[in-house]
Protein backbone atom coordinates (compact mmCIF):
# COMPACT_ATOMS: atom_id res chain seq x y z
CA UNK A 1 0.00 0.00 0.00
CA UNK A 2 1.09 3.55 -0.75
CA UNK A 3 -0.03 5.36 2.36
CA UNK A 4 -0.89 9.01 1.73
CA UNK A 5 -3.26 9.64 4.64
CA UNK A 6 -0.70 10.93 7.10
CA UNK A 7 -2.85 13.89 8.14
CA UNK A 8 -5.15 11.30 9.75
CA UNK A 9 -2.30 9.36 11.31
CA UNK A 10 1.19 8.39 10.28
CA UNK A 11 0.90 4.67 9.58
CA UNK A 12 4.63 4.06 9.28
CA UNK A 13 6.43 4.58 12.60
CA UNK A 14 10.14 4.50 13.40
CA UNK A 15 11.14 0.98 14.47
CA UNK A 16 12.36 2.27 17.83
CA UNK A 17 8.83 3.55 18.58
CA UNK A 18 7.37 0.08 18.08
CA UNK A 19 10.12 -1.46 20.21
CA UNK A 20 9.61 1.10 22.98
CA UNK A 21 5.88 0.32 23.17
CA UNK A 22 6.55 -3.43 23.25
CA UNK A 23 9.23 -3.00 25.95
CA UNK A 24 6.88 -0.83 27.99
CA UNK A 25 4.14 -3.45 27.75
CA UNK A 26 6.54 -5.99 29.20
CA UNK A 27 7.82 -3.84 32.05
CA UNK A 28 5.53 -1.01 33.09
CA UNK A 29 3.21 -0.87 36.04
CA UNK A 30 0.78 1.98 36.58
CA UNK A 31 2.47 5.37 36.89
CA UNK A 32 1.89 7.39 40.07
CA UNK A 33 0.41 4.31 41.69
CA UNK A 34 3.00 3.09 44.15
CA UNK A 35 6.76 2.93 44.48
CA UNK A 36 7.62 -0.59 43.37
CA UNK A 37 9.89 -0.96 40.38
CA UNK A 38 7.07 -1.51 37.87
CA UNK A 39 5.21 1.62 38.87
CA UNK A 40 8.39 3.66 39.03
CA UNK A 41 9.43 2.47 35.57
CA UNK A 42 6.18 3.97 34.26
CA UNK A 43 6.46 7.12 36.38
CA UNK A 44 10.04 7.74 35.28
CA UNK A 45 9.32 7.17 31.59
CA UNK A 46 6.35 9.53 31.75
CA UNK A 47 8.31 12.15 33.66
CA UNK A 48 11.18 11.96 31.15
CA UNK A 49 8.70 12.35 28.30
CA UNK A 50 7.21 15.44 29.95
CA UNK A 51 10.69 16.92 30.07
CA UNK A 52 11.32 16.09 26.41
CA UNK A 53 8.01 17.61 25.33
CA UNK A 54 8.64 20.75 27.41
CA UNK A 55 12.01 21.22 25.69
CA UNK A 56 10.56 20.37 22.27
CA UNK A 57 7.74 22.91 22.47
CA UNK A 58 9.39 25.61 24.58
CA UNK A 59 7.03 24.98 27.49
CA UNK A 60 8.56 26.62 30.55
CA UNK A 61 7.93 23.76 32.99
CA UNK A 62 7.79 19.98 32.62
CA UNK A 63 4.94 19.81 35.15
CA UNK A 64 2.94 22.07 32.82
CA UNK A 65 2.91 19.34 30.16
CA UNK A 66 -0.35 17.42 30.62
CA UNK A 67 -0.92 14.10 28.90
CA UNK A 68 -4.24 13.59 27.15
CA UNK A 69 -5.63 10.92 24.82
CA UNK A 70 -5.31 13.11 21.72
CA UNK A 71 -5.69 16.67 20.43
CA UNK A 72 -9.45 16.52 20.81
CA UNK A 73 -9.18 15.86 24.52
CA UNK A 74 -6.51 18.55 24.91
CA UNK A 75 -8.75 21.05 23.11
CA UNK A 76 -11.78 20.09 25.21
CA UNK A 77 -9.75 20.62 28.38
CA UNK A 78 -8.33 23.92 27.13
CA UNK A 79 -11.64 25.30 25.86
CA UNK A 80 -14.01 24.12 28.58
CA UNK A 81 -11.44 24.90 31.28
CA UNK A 82 -10.89 28.53 30.38
CA UNK A 83 -14.04 29.78 28.65
CA UNK A 84 -17.53 30.13 30.06
CA UNK A 85 -20.74 32.09 30.12
CA UNK A 86 -20.36 35.74 29.19
CA UNK A 87 -17.10 35.16 27.32
CA UNK A 88 -16.49 35.81 23.65
CA UNK A 89 -14.08 33.72 21.57
CA UNK A 90 -12.53 34.30 18.16
CA UNK A 91 -11.69 31.34 15.95
CA UNK A 92 -11.41 30.65 12.23
CA UNK A 93 -13.13 28.83 9.39
CA UNK A 94 -10.10 26.55 9.15
CA UNK A 95 -10.91 24.67 12.31
CA UNK A 96 -11.50 20.97 12.81
CA UNK A 97 -14.55 19.74 14.70
CA UNK A 98 -12.28 19.19 17.71
CA UNK A 99 -12.32 22.98 18.08
CA UNK A 100 -15.75 23.69 16.59
CA UNK A 101 -17.84 21.23 18.60
CA UNK A 102 -16.53 22.25 22.04
CA UNK A 103 -17.23 25.86 21.04
CA UNK A 104 -20.69 25.09 19.67
CA UNK A 105 -21.49 23.26 22.90
CA UNK A 106 -20.43 26.30 24.93
CA UNK A 107 -22.58 28.45 22.67
CA UNK A 108 -25.61 26.20 23.20
CA UNK A 109 -25.20 25.43 26.89
CA UNK A 110 -23.62 28.59 28.30
CA UNK A 111 -24.37 31.28 25.77
CA UNK A 112 -20.69 31.84 24.98
CA UNK A 113 -20.30 34.09 21.94
CA UNK A 114 -18.14 32.81 19.07
CA UNK A 115 -16.90 34.80 16.06
CA UNK A 116 -15.22 33.31 13.01
CA UNK A 117 -12.41 34.79 10.95
CA UNK A 118 -13.67 33.86 7.47
CA UNK A 119 -11.64 31.94 4.92
CA UNK A 120 -11.75 32.83 1.21
CA UNK A 121 -12.07 30.41 -1.74
CA UNK A 122 -8.37 29.52 -1.36
CA UNK A 123 -8.82 28.81 2.33
CA UNK A 124 -6.84 31.91 3.33
CA UNK A 125 -7.68 34.32 6.15
CA UNK A 126 -7.20 38.07 6.54
CA UNK A 127 -5.31 38.70 9.79
CA UNK A 128 -6.89 42.13 10.19
CA UNK A 129 -10.16 40.31 10.91
CA UNK A 130 -8.85 39.10 14.27
CA UNK A 131 -8.42 42.70 15.47
CA UNK A 132 -11.78 43.74 14.09
CA UNK A 133 -13.62 40.93 15.88
CA UNK A 134 -12.22 41.73 19.33
CA UNK A 135 -14.81 42.93 21.86
CA UNK A 136 -14.49 43.98 25.51
CA UNK A 137 -15.63 40.51 26.62
CA UNK A 138 -13.29 38.60 24.28
CA UNK A 139 -11.46 35.98 26.30
CA UNK A 140 -9.48 33.95 23.78
CA UNK A 141 -8.33 33.36 20.24
CA UNK A 142 -8.39 29.69 19.27
CA UNK A 143 -6.90 28.62 15.98
CA UNK A 144 -5.24 25.80 14.18
CA UNK A 145 -1.63 26.07 13.06
CA UNK A 146 -2.50 24.42 9.73
CA UNK A 147 -5.73 23.42 8.03
CA UNK A 148 -6.13 19.65 8.03
CA UNK A 149 -7.94 19.99 4.71
CA UNK A 150 -5.89 22.40 2.58
CA UNK A 151 -2.58 22.37 4.45
CA UNK A 152 -2.65 26.19 4.57
CA UNK A 153 -0.54 27.42 7.45
CA UNK A 154 -1.74 30.10 9.86
CA UNK A 155 0.91 32.63 10.88
CA UNK A 156 0.53 31.91 14.56
CA UNK A 157 3.32 34.30 15.51
CA UNK A 158 1.20 37.08 14.06
CA UNK A 159 -1.98 35.88 15.74
CA UNK A 160 -0.07 35.38 19.01
CA UNK A 161 1.12 38.99 18.85
CA UNK A 162 -2.49 40.18 18.42
CA UNK A 163 -3.58 38.03 21.38
CA UNK A 164 -0.74 39.39 23.50
CA UNK A 165 -1.49 43.00 22.59
CA UNK A 166 -5.09 42.56 23.71
CA UNK A 167 -4.31 40.29 26.70
CA UNK A 168 -6.25 37.38 25.24
CA UNK A 169 -5.58 33.71 25.82
CA UNK A 170 -4.07 32.17 22.70
CA UNK A 171 -5.00 28.51 22.25
CA UNK A 172 -3.36 26.67 19.35
CA UNK A 173 -4.35 23.38 17.73
CA UNK A 174 -1.04 21.95 16.50
CA UNK A 175 -2.46 18.59 15.36
CA UNK A 176 -1.10 18.95 11.84
CA UNK A 177 2.21 20.60 12.62
CA UNK A 178 3.67 19.21 15.86
CA UNK A 179 6.78 17.24 14.95
CA UNK A 180 7.20 18.90 11.56
CA UNK A 181 7.29 22.65 12.20
CA UNK A 182 9.23 24.39 14.98
CA UNK A 183 6.81 25.43 17.73
CA UNK A 184 8.13 27.41 20.66
CA UNK A 185 5.29 28.40 22.96
CA UNK A 186 6.95 31.37 24.59
CA UNK A 187 8.20 32.89 21.35
CA UNK A 188 4.79 32.49 19.68
CA UNK A 189 2.78 33.83 22.62
CA UNK A 190 0.88 30.56 23.03
CA UNK A 191 -0.96 30.11 26.33
CA UNK A 192 -2.25 26.59 25.64
CA UNK A 193 -0.77 24.29 23.01
CA UNK A 194 -2.84 21.26 22.04
CA UNK A 195 -1.26 18.36 20.21
CA UNK A 196 -1.48 14.69 19.38
CA UNK A 197 1.35 12.18 19.32
CA UNK A 198 0.35 9.95 16.42
CA UNK A 199 0.59 12.29 13.42
CA UNK A 200 3.72 14.34 12.71
CA UNK A 201 5.30 13.26 15.98
CA UNK A 202 5.21 9.66 14.65
CA UNK A 203 4.25 8.15 18.00
CA UNK A 204 1.55 5.58 18.68
CA UNK A 205 -2.14 6.45 18.75
CA UNK A 206 -3.30 7.26 22.27
CA UNK A 207 -1.14 9.89 23.89
CA UNK A 208 -1.64 13.54 23.15
CA UNK A 209 -0.72 16.59 25.14
CA UNK A 210 -1.65 19.99 26.44
CA UNK A 211 1.20 22.38 27.26
CA UNK A 212 0.35 25.30 29.53
CA UNK A 213 2.07 28.63 29.91
CA UNK A 214 2.85 29.35 33.55
CA UNK A 215 0.03 31.17 35.30
CA UNK A 216 -2.77 30.06 32.98
CA UNK A 217 -5.64 28.72 35.07
CA UNK A 218 -7.50 25.76 33.56
CA UNK A 219 -10.45 24.10 35.30
CA UNK A 220 -10.32 20.27 35.19
CA UNK A 221 -12.46 18.75 32.46
CA UNK A 222 -12.49 15.34 34.14
CA UNK A 223 -11.79 14.37 37.73
CA UNK A 224 -11.03 11.07 39.40
CA UNK A 225 -8.14 8.83 40.39
CA UNK A 226 -4.78 10.52 40.72
CA UNK A 227 -2.66 8.22 42.89
CA UNK A 228 -2.16 11.09 45.34
CA UNK A 229 -4.25 13.05 47.85
CA UNK A 230 -6.86 10.28 48.12
CA UNK A 231 -8.87 11.91 50.90
CA UNK A 232 -9.12 15.24 49.08
CA UNK A 233 -12.70 15.49 47.76
CA UNK A 234 -11.49 17.60 44.86
CA UNK A 235 -9.02 16.94 42.09
CA UNK A 236 -5.56 17.93 43.42
CA UNK A 237 -4.84 21.54 42.44
CA UNK A 238 -1.23 20.97 41.36
CA UNK A 239 -0.30 20.41 37.71
CA UNK A 240 -0.11 18.05 35.92
CA UNK A 241 -2.32 15.98 38.29
CA UNK A 242 -5.01 18.66 38.17
CA UNK A 243 -5.76 17.86 34.54
CA UNK A 244 -4.83 14.16 34.42
CA UNK A 245 -7.48 12.02 36.11
CA UNK A 246 -7.21 8.26 35.57
CA UNK A 247 -4.44 5.96 34.43
CA UNK A 248 -2.21 7.49 31.80
CA UNK A 249 -1.35 5.68 28.59
CA UNK A 250 2.13 4.77 29.80
CA UNK A 251 2.78 2.34 26.97
CA UNK A 252 1.88 4.94 24.39
CA UNK A 253 3.85 7.64 26.15
CA UNK A 254 6.93 5.37 26.07
CA UNK A 255 6.46 5.17 22.30
CA UNK A 256 6.04 8.92 22.05
CA UNK A 257 9.26 9.36 23.99
CA UNK A 258 11.11 7.18 21.47
CA UNK A 259 9.48 9.12 18.63
CA UNK A 260 10.74 12.42 20.07
CA UNK A 261 14.25 10.93 20.22
CA UNK A 262 13.93 9.84 16.59
CA UNK A 263 12.85 13.32 15.46
CA UNK A 264 15.76 14.87 17.35
CA UNK A 265 18.17 12.43 15.68
CA UNK A 266 16.86 13.07 12.17
CA UNK A 267 16.20 16.77 12.69
CA UNK A 268 12.94 18.69 12.46
CA UNK A 269 14.19 20.73 9.50
CA UNK A 270 15.21 17.61 7.58
CA UNK A 271 11.79 16.03 8.14
CA UNK A 272 9.98 19.21 7.15
CA UNK A 273 12.11 19.70 4.03
CA UNK A 274 11.43 16.16 2.80
CA UNK A 275 7.68 16.31 3.43
CA UNK A 276 7.51 19.72 1.78
CA UNK A 277 9.41 18.50 -1.29
CA UNK A 278 7.12 15.45 -1.66
CA UNK A 279 4.01 17.59 -1.31
CA UNK A 280 5.24 20.12 -3.91
CA UNK A 281 6.27 17.35 -6.32
CA UNK A 282 2.75 15.94 -6.09
CA UNK A 283 1.21 19.40 -6.51
CA UNK A 284 3.34 20.07 -9.59
CA UNK A 285 2.25 16.73 -11.07
CA UNK A 286 -1.49 16.92 -10.46
CA UNK A 287 -1.85 20.55 -11.50
CA UNK A 288 -0.78 19.40 -15.00
CA UNK A 289 -3.96 17.30 -15.22
CA UNK A 290 -6.65 19.50 -16.82
CA UNK A 291 -9.69 18.20 -14.90
CA UNK A 292 -8.04 18.42 -11.47
CA UNK A 293 -8.90 21.26 -9.10
CA UNK A 294 -6.48 21.73 -6.21
CA UNK A 295 -7.59 23.68 -3.12
CA UNK A 296 -5.45 25.90 -0.95
CA UNK A 297 -2.60 28.39 -1.14
CA UNK A 298 0.71 26.99 -2.34
CA UNK A 299 2.59 30.30 -2.48
CA UNK A 300 4.34 29.99 0.87
CA UNK A 301 5.05 27.75 3.85
CA UNK A 302 2.42 25.07 4.27
CA UNK A 303 1.75 21.63 5.68
CA UNK A 304 2.31 18.57 3.49
CA UNK A 305 -1.32 18.21 2.41
CA UNK A 306 -2.90 18.46 -1.05
CA UNK A 307 -6.71 18.41 -1.35
CA UNK A 308 -8.25 18.10 -4.79
CA UNK A 309 -11.12 16.94 -6.93
CA UNK A 310 -11.35 15.52 -10.44
CA UNK A 311 -14.05 17.34 -12.37
CA UNK A 312 -17.37 16.68 -10.67
CA UNK A 313 -16.48 13.18 -9.48
CA UNK A 314 -17.56 12.37 -5.96
CA UNK A 315 -14.43 12.45 -3.81
CA UNK A 316 -15.40 9.17 -2.13
CA UNK A 317 -15.56 7.43 -5.49
CA UNK A 318 -12.12 8.75 -6.46
CA UNK A 319 -10.62 7.71 -3.15
CA UNK A 320 -12.22 4.28 -3.45
CA UNK A 321 -10.76 3.73 -6.92
CA UNK A 322 -7.35 4.86 -5.65
CA UNK A 323 -7.62 2.31 -2.87
CA UNK A 324 -9.12 -0.61 -4.79
CA UNK A 325 -7.31 -0.32 -8.13
CA UNK A 326 -4.02 1.33 -7.16
CA UNK A 327 -3.62 0.45 -3.46
CA UNK A 328 -3.17 4.14 -2.63
CA UNK A 329 -4.64 5.28 0.70
CA UNK A 330 -6.20 8.78 0.76
CA UNK A 331 -9.02 10.42 2.66
CA UNK A 332 -12.19 11.60 0.90
CA UNK A 333 -15.22 13.43 2.28
CA UNK A 334 -15.41 16.30 4.70
CA UNK A 335 -12.41 15.70 6.98
CA UNK A 336 -14.22 16.99 10.12
CA UNK A 337 -13.73 20.49 8.70
CA UNK A 338 -17.26 21.68 7.77
CA UNK A 339 -16.58 25.43 7.65
CA UNK A 340 -13.48 24.95 5.51
CA UNK A 341 -15.45 22.94 2.96
CA UNK A 342 -18.15 25.62 2.96
CA UNK A 343 -15.51 28.26 2.29
CA UNK A 344 -13.97 26.23 -0.54
CA UNK A 345 -17.38 25.41 -2.03
CA UNK A 346 -16.80 21.68 -1.70
CA UNK A 347 -19.63 20.60 0.61
CA UNK A 348 -21.23 18.59 -2.23
CA UNK A 349 -18.20 16.78 -3.61
CA UNK A 350 -16.02 16.73 -0.55
CA UNK A 351 -12.36 16.50 -1.54
CA UNK A 352 -9.68 13.86 -1.90
CA UNK A 353 -6.89 14.59 0.55
CA UNK A 354 -3.34 13.39 -0.05
CA UNK A 355 -1.01 13.92 2.90
CA UNK A 356 2.67 13.07 3.07
CA UNK A 357 5.08 11.94 5.74
CA UNK A 358 8.77 11.44 6.36
CA UNK A 359 8.44 7.80 5.30
CA UNK A 360 6.98 8.50 1.85
CA UNK A 361 9.16 8.43 -1.26
CA UNK A 362 9.32 10.24 -4.59
CA UNK A 363 8.41 6.93 -6.29
CA UNK A 364 5.21 6.77 -4.27
CA UNK A 365 4.37 10.36 -5.18
CA UNK A 366 4.97 9.65 -8.87
CA UNK A 367 2.76 6.55 -8.68
CA UNK A 368 -0.02 8.65 -7.14
CA UNK A 369 0.31 11.27 -9.91
CA UNK A 370 0.16 8.55 -12.56
CA UNK A 371 -2.94 7.06 -10.94
CA UNK A 372 -4.62 10.44 -10.85
CA UNK A 373 -3.82 10.98 -14.52
CA UNK A 374 -5.34 7.62 -15.44
CA UNK A 375 -8.49 8.12 -13.34
CA UNK A 376 -9.08 11.58 -14.79
CA UNK A 377 -8.96 10.38 -18.42
Q: Which residues bind other proteins (CB under 8 A)?
A: 31-32, 34-35, 40, 43-44, 47, 50, 62-63, 226-232, 236-241
d(CA 249, CA 21): 11
Where are the strands (E) in the chain, listed by range? 2-3, 65-68, 88-92, 113-117, 138-144, 169-173, 192-196, 208-212, 292-295, 305-310, 328-329, 352-355
Which of left, alpha, beta for 267 (phi over 0: left; psi -120 to 50: alpha)?
left
What strands lie across the sheet with 138-144, from one edge to the other?
Answer: 65-68, 208-212, 192-196, 169-173, 138-144, 88-92, 113-117
Residue nearer to other proteins on the CB measure, 234 or 377: 234
Cross-strand bridge partners of residue 172? 143, 193
Cβ proximity to other proteins, 118 vs 225, nearer residue:
225
Q: Which is nearer to other proteins, 232 or 361 (CB)?
A: 232
Q: Report in angstroms how near the CB of residue 232 gets to other proteins at its nearest.
A: 7
* Distance (Å, whole) CA 167 – CA 74: 22
Beta bridge partners of 195: 209
Minimum distance from residue 57 beta carbon to other proteins (Å): 17
User: What is 309-335 written as a DSSP string?
Assistant: EETT--HHHHHHHHHHHH-EE-B-TTT
CA 37-42-48 angle, to 5 degrees, is 120
Rounded least distance, CB 48 to other proteins, Å: 9
Q: How far is the CB of 43 from other proteins (least distance, A)?
A: 5
Closer to other proteins by CB, 230 or 324: give it: 230
| Smallest separation (angstroms) from other proteins to the CB of 190 | 21
Helix (H, G, I), strand (E, B) or coil at 359: coil
Pick between residue 107 and residue 232 the one whose CB is nearest to other proteins: 232
Measured distance CA(122)–CA(124) in Å, rounded: 5
Is the previous residue joined to 350 through a cis bond, with omega within 30 degrees of 0? no
Task: For the CB of residue 208, give the shortest distance to other proteins in the complex, in Å.
Answer: 18
| Complex with other proteins: residue 63 or 93, whichever CB lies closer | 63
CB of 35 to other proteins, least distance (A): 5
Minimum Å gap between C-beta 261 and other proteins is: 18
CB nearer to other proteins: pick between 47 and 221: 47
**Which one, 34 or 338, has the nearer CB to other proteins?**
34
Amino acid sequence: MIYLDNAATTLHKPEQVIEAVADAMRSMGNSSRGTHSGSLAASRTIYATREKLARFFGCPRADHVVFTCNSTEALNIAISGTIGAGDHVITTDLEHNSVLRPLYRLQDEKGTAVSFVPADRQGCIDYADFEQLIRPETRAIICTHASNLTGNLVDIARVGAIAKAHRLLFIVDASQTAGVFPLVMEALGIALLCLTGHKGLMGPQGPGGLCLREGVEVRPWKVGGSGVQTYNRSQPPQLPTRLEAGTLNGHGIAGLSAALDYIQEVGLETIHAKEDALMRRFYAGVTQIPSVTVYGDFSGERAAVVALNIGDYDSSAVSDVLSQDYDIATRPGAHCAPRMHEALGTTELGAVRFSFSWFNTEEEVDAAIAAMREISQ
